Structure 1
Amino acid sequence: MVNSNYYAMDFLYVTPSHIQAARAANAVHAILLYRRKLDRGEIPPVMALGIVPMCSYQLERMFNTTRIPGKDTDTLLHLMESKHLAVYHKGRFYKVWLYYGGQHLRPRDLEQQFQRILDDPSPPQPGEERLAALTAGERVPWAEARARFFSHGKNKVSLDAIERAAFFLTLDEDEHGYVAGQEGCMDAYAKSLLHGHCYDRWFDKSFTLVVYKNGKLGCNAEHSWADAPIIGHLWELGTLIEDPQTGDPQLVTPKQGTPSVHPDWPSQLGTPTGDPQTGDPQTGHPFRAPQLTSPVGHAY
């Protein structure tokens, strides 16, 4: 993690929304719009000196990609499509569907899902809170633990939900960003994006979107799948202009309420029923990963 990952920051002086769930929803929606343009081949190549088009191959692995640990060498797992997002909050992992009836969830729909996660009072399950620390350490122990404890059963299902996600989102409990007159605030912001607590970022995902409690956000990116300018392109065209189609930086205003668009969703978090492609009203519902059955988590 220390030698491979890097980070990207938010605006210094502007925060479109101080509501954590709303800012996360805007950013995720903008990133999904970027992914759709990428899948459709609508993003033109970067031109060197404005004349020579540069190779865009690395863009293909921006989403749905995870670095898999190995004893001799790591490999990249890349999927052609992923329809869900892996979310981490207060030591708990969630799987959130990104589509409803074949369409992207709207920002206010995503905000509703993220707010339900933020409001969830349940504690982490045994071994869940610091599971991501395995991705921050030496690769061989992580490869051995993965082969021993995550190759079958509920543990494999849980790990697949993370590794096969479009990308990883951390709803952070801390507050960071530039504060005038506060010495060291930018250092703390940078360190948080680079490593956090070492167990609240999934360092093997192509990138982790970090949204702080005060609405600031940032990105931690894994380096092996592409050079840094690739993430920089996403960050400029996607996240910093939170609606690439309209240029509107604030899709959900802080004063605007978020009415329930699917009132028949269950009130308690649980495994969703139905197929995400059928339009079932529960398909946008987040649910906790199954409980880990191995002793790995207890060591962290």
Structure 2
Amino acid sequence: MKLFLRDQFPLIFIYLIQIIVITSIYWLDGYHNWTISLYAALLSSCLLIIYLLIRYITNRSFYQRLEKPLTSLDDFASNTHQTPLTEGLQQLLTSQFRHYKTDLHHYKYRLEGHIQFINQWVHQMKTPLSVIHLIIQDEDDSRFTAIGDELDRLKKGLETVLYTARLDSFEHDLYVESLNLETVVRSVTSNQKRLFIRKRIFPSFQFKEDVIVASDEKWLSFVLTQLVTNAIRYTVEENRKLHFHSYNRGIHTVLEIRDEGIGIPQSDIPRVFDAYFTGENGRNFQESTGMGLYLVKQICEKLGHRIEIESVVNEGTTIRIIF
């Protein structure tokens, strides 16, 4: 009703101005019978009111639909009163929606093709990296050791790209099973042994026997790899430990990863899981991309796990995954 009155306000305003002008002309011409003038104005006003009522009743569903957001074009097509105005608007919306769906399908097709290309490219790049690694693995020269370290960084970067591209189609690449948590953690740390040795950091395990959790091994391993490499990267002093500890919290199993690194400023902690946020530490360590913890958060949410973080500057950071 409010929208209808706002739409018809110019007509009502012009009508009142017209009544005043016509009455004034008759008054200047010497016709001073106010009774007849008021009677004529009353009849004219009644005709206007009847017109407005008919107009509102005819287009009531149209104005009500405009006051509420459309959930689909079928809602608008369900109007019982079809007028030229409603039919014209419905045709316009149908045409615009058809163009929108066409453009959306076009961009979706391009995006899927782009993601497929990235996946294929990453897999193709893994082959030469593996070959180079096989070539240098038996060499003792420090130059080959440096090359191996760079290969590990390249491999980690490619995996980050691959998992980022697959995140939107997560449900198509998910296999939940019962996993031995200690086995998964030890496998991840073993894969990162070159990084542990280079930084002179030692893993420390505190697990109860047969800690079983329900998760996807591949995605969980990627999450743990991100957390381990972050912990090692931000531990600048040598001969430090990276602690892995599991315990029960009620019905939940908790995996706690605690480093002895530089820690995270309290002002940065609320944003560490935001995409591309590097924070104060990221400005001091140029390797930081701001995507590692973002992917960790997104994957944990999709797996149904919760993640917590605590940190004290110059003492270390603790991250907990709650299964």
Output the TM-score relative to the length of structure 1. 0.26
Structure number with greater CO (CA < 8 Å, separation at least 6) is 1
Relative to its length, the structure with more helix (as a share) is 2
Output the TM-score relative to the length of structure 2. 0.25
- Larger Rg belongs to: 2
